[in-house]
Chain A
């Protein structure tokens, strides 16, 4: 979405200075997706398209309920359906609403080279400012959840905004409003964590011993959380990462390498300058010219 005068940034991509952050006493928000209450109706997907005014190309049937097959620049949230056989040999139909997790430590923002193209507000929402986006795809490499998609049309990266425009005026995200079963809830992160606790207790009482909250610590926690009946193995839910974290390659690239590289390049230039100051130029002396000339002339004479 476009940049608001929000003055409540806690992070801003490719910025070495503190972003405007005076107004940052709001509560952290979270969306809680209770997988156990989802019926797979895709109302959230439709609501997302409608509120954000997105219309993807009509695709093809890919042999599964997943439609479209994957996230794309026009699909910011996607129901992913998994037919999973549990330990007793029974079929469980696992349905997960995929989309940006709004990490507390966002890999996309860390990787982004364009100043201000990715920001994080004090409420935890990670937002793309498309005007500043240069279309490099570094956010795709930075994201531990494989969420952002770069449009081949306008070369801008897109993903769920957590309806930052709605949230900033006190509304819940569109997907939350549309959900008919209450599987998607929205509120302060503390409220959502408490509510998740009740849901997990209820699931455990129904025999889902491994039920739990997915709020992965590897990315500092997320502002989109899941209640999972099988929280011990998140990856059965269409590849939800078991232990997501920013890749160490991205960490190195955007961590130590950046300042060391700049220092190294500067040192090389400074070393050259001071060599020039200390040793001075290497100049051809008159006797060199005489010697060189004599060598050429000798050969001329020999002929």
Chain B
């Protein structure tokens, strides 16, 4: 582990592994899903061994994503509850977009943008799961009326497009806000990063003399 002792722990190892399993699943689902969505992306099916393989493997990756994201939800739903600070933060969103930190309310472990990504996926991933099961031809093709399948495939497309848009926002935010990626790759952030972006969280860590969050093995908050 190449963590600097000067730094603050942001994500435990189990969290990072969980996150990257989810991320890999999401990327694979996007590539295979787009291949079956629009002809200009059909060439992506070659990455999965052709059209038949793409069609066969896509739902299974989806199941893996659902299981993996459930792990992230179990770890983070408390920290993602919306509060008044978040509403105040959103009101200053124009400043935030201009990289101006003055006048922006202090942020706890997650800012409103991160919470939006979290809850958007909480909504979209089950929607993708249930509509996806309806159109999983191999196992469930004959179980629902055609009308249900037609609606399901349309909703699956809508939800997937929304999820991809949310994901692009998520990835861009991680690139834009320098020093963030390190939190998910190595698990730590510099005190300056925490001060600049999650000052309330840093104050809390300092108060508790904690080096950062630990995995919630015993269910402690």
Kindly state the separation between the CA atoms of A150 and B153 in the bound complex, as whole angstroms. 17
Q: Are A14 and B196 touching (Cβ within 8 A)?
A: no
Contact of B193 among A247, A284, A286, A298 (CB under 8 A): A284
CB distance from B13 to the nearest CB of A (A): 22
Q: Are A295 and B196 touching (Cβ within 8 A)?
A: no
Kindly state the separation between the CA atoms of A14 and B41 in the bound complex, as whole angstroms. 10
Contact of B165 among A15, A264, A291, A303 (CB under 8 A): A264
Contact of A134 among B36, B37, B191, B202 (CB under 8 A): B36
Q: Are A16 and B40 touching (Cβ within 8 A)?
A: yes
Kindly state the separation between the CA atoms of A16 and B39 in the bound complex, as whole angstroms. 7
Q: Are A135 and B137 touching (Cβ within 8 A)?
A: yes
Contact with A along B128-156 (1 / 0, CB 8 A): 00000001011001000011011101100
The residue in A113, A249, A253, A282 that gathers the most chain B C-beta atoms within 10 A of its C-beta is A282
Q: Determine whether A281 belongs to the interface, using a CB cutoff of 8 Å to chain B.
A: yes
Chain A residues near B83 (CB-CB < 8 A): none
Q: Determine whether B97 belongs to the interface, using a CB cutoff of 8 Å to chain A.
A: yes
CB distance from A294 to the nearest CB of B (A): 9
Q: Which 8 A-B pairs have the closest CB atoms?
A: A292-B191, A289-B192, A292-B195, A134-B51, A137-B137, A272-B172, A288-B192, A14-B39
A-B contacts besides A113-B42, A136-B55, A268-B168, 13 pairs, CB < 8 Å: A136-B137, A137-B141, A140-B137, A249-B153, A253-B154, A265-B161, A269-B168, A279-B99, A292-B190, A293-B192, A296-B191, A296-B205, A303-B209
The residue in B55, B147, B207 that gathers the most chain A C-beta atoms within 10 A of its C-beta is B55
List residues of A (140-198) whose CB comes within 8 Å of B's CBs: 140-141, 146, 150, 152, 155
Chain B residues near A281 (CB-CB < 8 A): 99, 175-178
Q: Are B168 and A299 touching (Cβ within 8 A)?
A: no
Q: Determine whether A132 belongs to the interface, using a CB cutoff of 8 Å to chain B.
A: yes
Contact with B along A100-144 (1 / 0, CB 8 A): 000000000000011100000000000000001111111011000
Q: Are A275 and B55 touching (Cβ within 8 A)?
A: no
Residues of B within 8 A of A (CB): 6, 8, 35-40, 42, 45, 50-52, 54-56, 97-99, 135, 137-138, 141, 146-147, 149-151, 153-154, 157-158, 161, 164-165, 168-169, 172, 175-179, 190-196, 202-203, 205-207, 209
Contact of A284 among B52, B135, B147, B179 (CB under 8 A): B179
Kindly state the separation between the CA atoms of A152 and B153 in the bound complex, as whole angstroms. 20
Q: Determine whether A283 belongs to the interface, using a CB cutoff of 8 Å to chain B.
A: yes
CB distance from B69 to the nearest CB of A (A): 20
Q: Determine whether A250 belongs to the interface, using a CB cutoff of 8 Å to chain B.
A: yes
Q: Determine whether A258 belongs to the interface, using a CB cutoff of 8 Å to chain B.
A: yes
Q: Determine whether A261 belongs to the interface, using a CB cutoff of 8 Å to chain B.
A: yes
Q: Are A137 and B192 touching (Cβ within 8 A)?
A: no
The residue on A at minimum CB distance from B135 is: A137
Q: Are B192 and A265 touching (Cβ within 8 A)?
A: no
Chain B residues near A135 (CB-CB < 8 A): 52, 55-56, 137-138
Q: Determine whether A252 belongs to the interface, using a CB cutoff of 8 Å to chain B.
A: yes
Chain B residues near A146 (CB-CB < 8 A): 146
